[in-house]
Chain A
Amino acid sequence: MVKAGNWRTRLYLSIMFRVTGRAIQAAGRRDPELREIFAALPPGFSFRLSVWPDGPELNIETDSSTLPRYGGSKGASDPSLHMEITSPAHAMALFTFAESTTMSAARGRLVTRGDLSHACTMVRVLDRVETYLLPRPIARRAVKRYESPQKKHRMRLAVWLGIIFSRGGSRS
Chain B
Amino acid sequence: MTAHRNFYRFTSPLLTVAGHDALEELPGLLRSLDMLHPLILTDPGVRRAGLMDMVSAILKSQEDIIGDTWFDQIPPDSDTDIIAQAAQVYREKGCTGLLAVGGGSVIDTTKGVRILVSLGGEHLRDYQGADTISSQLVPMAAVPTTSGTGSEATLVAVIKDARNKRKLAFTSPSLIPSAAILDSRMTLTLPPAITAATGMDALAHAVEAYTGLGRNPISDSYALKAIELIVSTLPEVIEHPDNQEARLQMAVASHLAGSAFSNSMVGIVHTLGHCVGARCGIPHGICMSILLPYGMTYNLHRCRERFGKLLQVLSGKSVYLETSEDKRPEGAVAAVKALASRLHMLTDGAHPLRLRDILDRSGHPIMKPQHIPVIASDALGDPSHLYNPEEVSLDELISVLRAAYWGYPLDKDLVKLGHQK
Give A residues with C-beta under 8 Å from B.
Answer: 1, 89-90, 92-93, 96, 98-100, 102-103, 105-121, 123-124, 140-141, 143-147
Contact = CB atoms under 8 A, between A and B. Distances in A.
A124 B168 CA distance: 20
A119 B4 contact: no
Identify the 6 closest CB pairs spanning chains A and B, nearest first.
A117-B381, A145-B391, A106-B213, A106-B214, A145-B418, A116-B383
B4 A98 contact: yes
B387 A106 contact: yes
A1 B52 CA distance: 61
Nearest to B173: A108
Contacts of A118: 381
Contacts of A107: 8-9, 214
Contacts of B1: 1, 92-93, 96, 98
Nearest to B418: A145
Nearest to A78: B126
B420 interface: yes
Interface stretch (B111-119, B129-137, B194-202): B129-137
A92 to B, nearest CB: 6
A111 B172 CA distance: 10
Interface of B: 1-5, 8-9, 128-132, 166, 168-169, 171, 212-214, 264-265, 380-383, 385-387, 390-391, 416-420
A72 B419 CA distance: 33
Contacts of A100: 420
Nearest to A105: B386
Contacts of A145: 390-391, 416-420
B131 A117 contact: no
A140 B420 contact: yes
Contacts of A92: 1, 4
Contacts of B171: 116
Contacts of A89: 3-4
B130 A99 contact: no
A113 B169 CA distance: 11
A126 to B, nearest CB: 12
Question: Which one of B9, B214, B381 has the greatest number of beta carbons of chain A within 10 Å?
Answer: B381
